[in-house]
Structure 1
Amino acid sequence: MSQQHSSAGTPTSDAPVATVDQRPDWWRDAVIYQVYPRSFADSNGDGMGDLEGVRSRLPHLRDLGVDAVWLSPFYASPQADAGYDVADYRAVDPMFGTLLDADALIRDAHALGLRIIVDLVPNHSSDQHEWFRRAVAEGPGSPLRDRYHFRQGKGRDGELPPNDWESIFGGPAWTRVTEPDGTPGEWYLHLFAPEQPDFNWDHPAVGDEFRSILRFWLDMGVDGFRIDVAHGLVKADGLPDLGGHDQLKLLGNDVMPFFDQDGVHAIYRQWRTVLDEYAGEQIFVAEAWTPTVERTANYVRPDELHQAFNFQYLGTEWDAEELRTVIDRTLEAMRPVGAPATWVLSNHDVTRHATRFANPPGLGTQIRTAGDRERGLRRARAATLLMLALPGSAYVYQGEELGLPDVVDLPDEVRQDPAYFRGAGQDGFRDGCRVPIPWTREGSSYGFGEGGSWLPQPGAWGELSVEAQTGVPGSTLELYRAALAARRTHPCLGAGDAVEWLPAPEGVLALRRGEFVCVANTTGDPVSVPAYGRVLLASVEPGEPGADGRAVVPADATVWWTTA
C-alpha cells in the first residue's frame, strides 16, 4: 500500500525503509514523541488533525531529534472519548484518513529515521463494536455477552447496579441495557464512559482477537504499541464491592479490585511471544497506573513488556527532595528486572507541566488556573533538562517543545472531554492540554490547518509557534533541539541504570554520569556551585565562574556540564 504526497520536504511513501536506527535495544534510551492526531496538523481543512497532517510534519520531528513517534488512537470510533472507544481495531476512522494514509505515514517515518508506535486499547471497546452491538441485540444468554461483563442487577427487580464500582469519569461503572423486548435488562461494566464497555479477559476469544490485532499492525510495519489502561484488563474474581473507598480516582494509589491485578501479566507474556515472532525490535509500552513504582516494575519483567510510564515522576512537584526520592526509587525498582526507567512530564491526560509548575504545589496534575506563566515556563525548561539527563527513556508530549501552557479558559460550550460532563471522577479539564498546536505566526489556526481548529487557540499562540521559535537563540524549541542533539551524541547520556549524587545546597540536585554533570536548582534564588567543566547546555545561562572556581546557577534553572 503506498500513495504519493507532494508536501515540500516530505518524502513519498515509496522512499526506501532503510534509515531507521538499527541499534540493539534502541528503546532503552529512546526519546519518544507523543502525537495527539486530532490536534497536531490538519491536511484537509476540516478543523480536525489527521494522519496526512502528521505525515506532512514528520520533518519537524526528525529535526527535533526524537527517535520514535507514538500516535494516540486513530481507529474507527464514534469518538465518545476522543478515539479511546474503538469500534474497529483494523480500520482508520474517516476523520483521520484511511489505511493507505497509515501505511504512507509509517513508510515516510521510517525513511526519516523515525519509528512509529501506535496506541492499543484492550481494556474496553466502543459500544458500537460489532461484538457489543450483537450482544445487546441478541439478548440475555447471547454468547457474545460473555466477552464483556454483563450481570444481573441487585434489588427486587434488578434495578440496582451489580456492585458499587464507580466510573473513572464519574457516576456508576454500570449501565443497564434495554433488552430486545423493551424491558430493562442486564447491566454491563464500563470503568470509563458508558460508551466504553469493558472486555472480559477471562474469555479466550478476547485474547485471540487481540493477538490477531497485534499481528495486523505489525504486518503494517509499526514498531510497537502503547497499551492503554494496561493495568485494568483483569478484574478480581466475583467483582467484589469497593466498600470503604469513597471516590475512585485514576491517579490514586489505592489498591482496587479492577486495577493492577496479577492476572494481567499472563496476558502480556502471551503478547510478548507474538512480538518476538517479528524481525527487528518492536516494543510494548504500558500505561499502568499502580500504587507504587515497584508494582510498575512487574510489567517490564524480561518476558513481558519493555517500558512502563513513570506516573510517579510525572506527578512529582518541582522540589529537589521529592524529585531525588522518586528518581532513586525508580532506578532501584527497574534495576532487578533489567528494564529502563522512563521519564515523562506531560501527556494528553494531564495539565501541561509549564502550567503545573506555574501554580502552587499540591494542586495535582489537573489544574484550572494559569498561574505565573513566566515562572511556569522557566521551571518547565529546567525540568526538561533534568529529565533528559536521567538514565533511560524519555517521553515528550506534542507542543511541550514550544513551551505551550494549558488553555485554562476554554468556554464550557466547546469542551469535549467526557469526564467534564459526568460531573465527578476526573476533573474533566483535559481539553486544555489538547488544544491544536501552532506552526506559524499567522493564519486562522496558526498553521494547524486552513479550516480553523476543533478547539479554539489563544490569541498569543502565534508567538509560540514553530515558525516564531525556529532559529531564535534561547527559545524553548531550540533548547529542546540542542538538548536532544547533545543527548544523542554525548557518550554519558542515554541508557543506564544509575546516577551519582553530588553534594549540593538545599533545594538543588547535582548528579554525575561519568564525564557529564547536571545541576538543577529548584529554588527561587540563585545558588553557587562548583563549575564542573564546560557548560554544555543550560535552561538559563549560568554566571561565569569566579576566581574561586564556582558558578552561579540561576533560580529555577538546570545546567549541563561536561568534564571531558
Structure 2
Amino acid sequence: MTELEQFAAPGSEWWRSAVIYQIYPRSFADASGDGIGDLPGVTSRLDSLQDLGIDAIWLSPFMTSPQKDAGYDVADYRDVDPLFGTLADFDTMLAAAHARGIRVIVDLVPNHSSDQHVWFQQALKAAPGSPERARYIFRDGKGENGEIPPNNWESVFGGGQWTRITEPDGTPGQWYLHIFDPSQPDFDWTNEEVREEFRGVLRFWLDRGVDGFRVDVAHGMIKADGLPDYTPPSESDSMGGGEDDVPYWGQEGVHDIYRDWHKVLAEYDGDRALCGEAWLPTLKKTALWVRPDEMHQTFNFPYMMTEWDAEKVRGVIRDSLEEFGKVGAPSTWVLSNHDVIRHASRLALTADSPQGDGIGPKSAGKPDEATGLARARAATTIMLALPGSSYLYQGEELGLPEAMEIPDEFRQDPTWFRTNGERYGRDGCRVPIPWEADAAAYGFNTTGDSWLPQPEEWSRFARDVEEADPASTLHMYKTLLGMRREFELGNGSLVWEDLGESAIAFRRGDVYVVANLGAEPLELGDDVTFITQSQRFDGTAVPTDHAAWYTKN
C-alpha cells in the first residue's frame, strides 16, 4: 500500500465532526414506570450523556402513534405520544440538553404515516380519484374484478406491499401501497399538498429549537413511474442496500424533496442539519444525498455492514472519504443502530444474517461473546479516530451484545409476525438498557416492568458496574471521546500507514491508529508510546482483535 492522504470535508459546522448518540426512547429510561421509556426519562439521564462526552442526541420517534412499528407509524407529526410524555416534556428535555451543550436531532418519518392519521382516515371514506386519496398511493387492482394487486412488490416486513380496502358502500375497493406494514400507508410525494404539509412539520419542530432531523427511509419516498413489477434477489437486503435500480428505492425524484427541505432549514440560525437513512448499493450513490444543496449527512451503511476483514475495512474507509469528499460533505461512521444486530455480536457471527433478519434462539452462526466484544471495542477505536461525524447507539458504550434468547411470546417486531416467525427481526437490539446492576429493571425504571425482557446476565453490563471498572467498555468510550476532542480528530486529514495486510493503520496528525485483524500479534517496535488501547495489553505487539492509538518517540 502506498501512503495516501485523505481529507475530511472542510467547514466549521458542528455536524461535520459531531459524535451523535442515538436514543431509542422506549428503551432508554422510563420515568413513569410503565415499562416503556419516555422523554422525562431521557431528561433524567442527560448528565450521564454529558459525562460520556457526546455532542448531540438523536431521538427515535416519539410522536403520536398507535405503535404498530414502535413509533415509525406516525398519526400526528406535531405532537408527542402520551406514551412518551407531552410537548411540555419535550421542551423541558430540549432545554436541559441545550443547557449541557448537547444538540437535539429528532426522527422524522415522511415516507409513510400511520393508517390512523387523519388524512388516511379521510382517504378511506372518500371516493377513488378524490383529493383525499391522492395524498397516498391508491390504485385499482388487476384482474376481472380488481382482485389482483397492482404489482408484485414485496414488503420489507414480509408479504406484499399492497392491501385492498373496503369502500364506504361495502364493496371490495382499491389497493393502497405500503413498503412496510399495512398500518403504514405510503404518501404520494408527487402531490404538492404532501410536500407543503411536511414543510409545515419541519418548521413546527425547528420553531421549538431542534437542531436537525434524521429522515427515515430517505431513499423510498419516490416510486418509479408506472410502478413496474420487481422481484428482488433471493438474498436481498431488506432495505435495498444491495441492489441497483429498485423501483421504490433511490429514485432520482427524492433529491428535489431534499433541495426543498434544505431551503427550509436555511431559514433558521445555527447550522440545522438533515441526516438521511438511505440504504444504497454504493458509496458513490450514497454521496448523492449530501450534495451541497441537499442533506448535510447520510448514514454510511456500507461502512456499518462491512465484515471484520482488514482489506474490506480499509477499502470502505478510503472510498467513503473519497466519495463524500467529492461533494464537499463529511463522511459519517456508524457501527450499530436500532435496525441491525449490535456490533458486539454482529462482528463475530459465523453465518450470514441479512439486515432486518435478526438473530434468535434457533439461528445459526451465533457469536462467541468474548470475540464479539473484543472486535467491537477495536472497531470503535478505529471509528472514533476517523475524520467526520460518528454515530453511537445507546448501550454500545457498555459493550451490550444482541439479546438473542428473547422468548417468542415476547417478540414485538412486525417482521416476526409478517414472516410467521421465519425472521426474528430487530427486537434483540432494542431491549431496554441497564443502568444499575442491583435495581429493578437494572435501573431502567423503579417498578421492574420492561416492554421487552432484559437478559439476566446484563447486570454485569450495567452502567454503575462499568463506572467502577477502569477496564470497562464505558471507560474506553469516555477515553476515546475525550481524546478525539483533545486532538480534534473529527476534522483534518488521514494518512494511511502500511503495517501489513492484516492491519488497519493510519495517522491523524501526531496520533497513530492501528488495529490487528490478523491471526498473529502485530509488532510495532520500540519507538511507540500508547495513548489508549481497546483492551489492555503489555509490550508493543498488538494482539489479534485489538486496537490502539499511539505516538512515536
Q: Smaller-chain TM-score range?
A: over 0.9
Q: 2:433 aligns with which of 434, 437, 457?
A: 437
In structure 1, how many angstroms separate the alpha carbons of the residues matched to 2:282 and 2:101?
35
Q: Give the 3 Å change call, closer, same or farther, for CA 323–103 of structure 1 in structure 2.
A: same
Alpha-carbon contact 1:165-1:172 (below 8 Å) kept: yes
In structure 2, how many angstroms separate the alpha carbons of the residues matched to 1:251 and 1:456?
31
Q: Give the 3 Å change call, closer, same or farther, for CA 42–234 of structure 1 in structure 2.
A: same
The Cα shift of 1:508 comes to 1.0
For the pair 1:250 / 2:235, whether they are aligned, the reply is no
Partner of 1:89: helix, strand, or coil? strand
The aligned counterpart of 2:258 is: 268
Encode CA deviations 1:378-431: one digit per residue, 9 max, x unaligned: 110000001111111100000000000111110111100001101179934200
Q: Give the 3 Å change call, closer, same or farther, for CA 32–126 of structure 1 in structure 2.
A: same
Q: Which amino acid aligns with 1:286?
A: G
In structure 2, how many angstroms separate the alpha carbons of the residues matched to 1:425 and 1:89?
31
Alpha-carbon contact 1:24-1:281 (below 8 Å) kept: no
The Cα shift of 1:455 comes to 0.6
In structure 1, how many angstroms separate the alpha carbons of the residues matched to 2:285 and 2:421?
23
The Cα shift of 1:340 comes to 0.3
In structure 2, how many angstroms separate the alpha carbons of the residues matched to 1:25 and 1:503?
32
Normalising by structure 1, report the TM-score: 0.92
The Cα shift of 1:351 comes to 0.4
Q: 1:83 aligns with which of 41, 56, 71?
A: 71
The Cα shift of 1:563 comes to 4.1
In structure 2, how many angstroms separate the alpha carbons of the residues matched to 1:460 and 1:273?
49
Encode CA deviations 1:410-469: one digit per residue, 9 max, x unaligned: 011110000110117993420000000000011230000123211111111111111111
The aligned counterpart of 1:367 is: 359
Q: Give the 3 Å change call, closer, same or farther, for CA 176–350 of structure 1 in structure 2.
A: same
The aligned counterpart of 1:314 is: 304
The aligned counterpart of 2:546 is: 557
The aligned counterpart of 1:383 is: 379
The aligned counterpart of 1:16 is: none
For the pair 1:448 / 2:444, whether they are aligned, the reply is yes
Q: 1:392 aligns with which of 388, 394, 404?
A: 388
Q: 2:483 aligns with which of 471, 483, 486?
A: 486
The Cα shift of 1:361 comes to 5.9
Partner of 1:446: helix, strand, or coil? helix
Alpha-carbon contact 1:247-1:425 (below 8 Å) kept: no
The aligned counterpart of 1:528 is: 523
Partner of 1:445: helix, strand, or coil? helix
Alignment of 1:401-550 (within 5 A): 401-423=397-419, 427-451=423-447, 452-491=449-488, 493-496=489-492, 498-531=493-526, 533-544=528-539
The aligned counterpart of 1:15 is: none
Q: Give the 3 Å change call, closer, same or farther, for CA 486–242 of structure 1 in structure 2.
A: same
Q: 2:114 aligns with which of 108, 126, 131?
A: 126
The Cα shift of 1:245 comes to 4.9
The aligned counterpart of 1:173 is: 161
Alpha-carbon contact 1:347-1:397 (below 8 Å) kept: yes
Partner of 1:499: helix, strand, or coil? strand
Partner of 1:70: helix, strand, or coil? strand
Alpha-carbon contact 1:87-1:125 (below 8 Å) kept: yes
In structure 1, how many angstroms separate the alpha carbons of the residues matched to 2:424 and 2:204?
34
Deviates more, 1:346-355 or 1:506-515: 506-515
The Cα shift of 1:246 comes to 5.2
The Cα shift of 1:267 comes to 0.6
Q: Give the 3 Å change call, closer, same or farther, for CA 244–479 of structure 1 in structure 2.
A: closer
Q: 1:202 aligns with which of 190, 196, 199?
A: 190
In structure 2, how many angstroms separate the alpha carbons of the residues matched to 1:250 and 1:444?
37
The Cα shift of 1:51 comes to 0.3
The aligned counterpart of 1:189 is: 177
For the pair 1:341 / 2:336, whether they are aligned, the reply is no
Q: Give the 3 Å change call, closer, same or farther, for CA 481–426 of structure 1 in structure 2.
A: farther
In structure 1, how many angstroms separate the alpha carbons of the residues matched to 2:422 and 2:281?
17
Alpha-carbon contact 2:153-2:231 (below 8 Å) kept: no
The Cα shift of 1:323 comes to 0.2
In structure 2, how many angstroms separate the alpha carbons of the residues matched to 1:473 and 1:155?
67
Q: Which has the higher contact order (CA 8 A, sep 6+)?
A: 2
In structure 1, how many angstroms separate the alpha carbons of the residues matched to 2:61 and 2:113?
12
The aligned counterpart of 1:358 is: 348
The Cα shift of 1:554 comes to 1.3
Deviates more, 1:306-315 or 1:361-370: 361-370
In structure 1, how many angstroms separate the alpha carbons of the residues matched to 2:209 and 2:432?
27
Q: Give the 3 Å change call, closer, same or farther, for CA 363–561 of structure 1 in structure 2.
A: same
Q: Which amino acid aligns with 2:228?
A: P
Aligned residues: 534
Q: Give the 3 Å change call, closer, same or farther, for CA 503–247 of structure 1 in structure 2.
A: closer
Q: Give the 3 Å change call, closer, same or farther, for CA 40–346 of structure 1 in structure 2.
A: same
Unaligned runs of 5+ in 1: 1-22, 545-550
The Cα shift of 1:251 comes to 4.7
Q: Which amino acid aligns with 1:560?
A: W
Q: Which amino acid aligns with 2:227?
A: L
Q: Which amino acid aligns with 1:495?
A: N
Alpha-carbon contact 2:240-2:249 (below 8 Å) kept: no
Q: Which amino acid aligns with 1:65?
A: G
Partner of 1:69: helix, strand, or coil? strand
Partner of 2:524: helix, strand, or coil? strand
Alpha-carbon contact 1:34-1:347 (below 8 Å) kept: yes
For the pair 1:44 / 2:32, whether they are aligned, the reply is yes
In structure 1, how many angstroms separate the alpha carbons of the residues matched to 2:232 and 2:142?
19
Partner of 1:94: helix, strand, or coil? coil
Encode CA deviations 1:249-271: one digit per residue, 9 max, x unaligned: 22542120011011111110010
The aligned counterpart of 2:4 is: none
Q: Which amino acid aligns with 2:401?
A: P
Alpha-carbon contact 1:226-1:284 (below 8 Å) kept: yes
For the pair 1:116 / 2:104, whether they are aligned, the reply is yes
Alpha-carbon contact 1:75-1:83 (below 8 Å) kept: yes
Deviates more, 1:280-289 or 1:425-434: 425-434
In structure 2, how many angstroms separate the alpha carbons of the residues matched to 1:531 and 1:230?
49
Alignment of 1:229-248 (within 5 A): 229-242=217-230, 245=233
Q: Give the 3 Å change call, closer, same or farther, for CA 473–446 of structure 1 in structure 2.
A: same
| C-alpha RMSD over aligned residues | 1.6
In structure 2, how many angstroms separate the alpha carbons of the residues matched to 1:152 and 1:346?
40
Q: Give the 3 Å change call, closer, same or farther, for CA 364–553 of structure 1 in structure 2.
A: farther
Q: Give the 3 Å change call, closer, same or farther, for CA 510–99 of structure 1 in structure 2.
A: same
Alpha-carbon contact 1:70-1:226 (below 8 Å) kept: yes
Encode CA deviations 1:110-154: one digit per residue, 9 max, x unaligned: 001100000000000000000000100123232110010000000
The Cα shift of 1:540 comes to 1.9
Q: Which amino acid aligns with 1:321?
A: E
In structure 2, how many angstroms separate the alpha carbons of the residues matched to 1:349 and 1:332?
27
The aligned counterpart of 1:282 is: 272
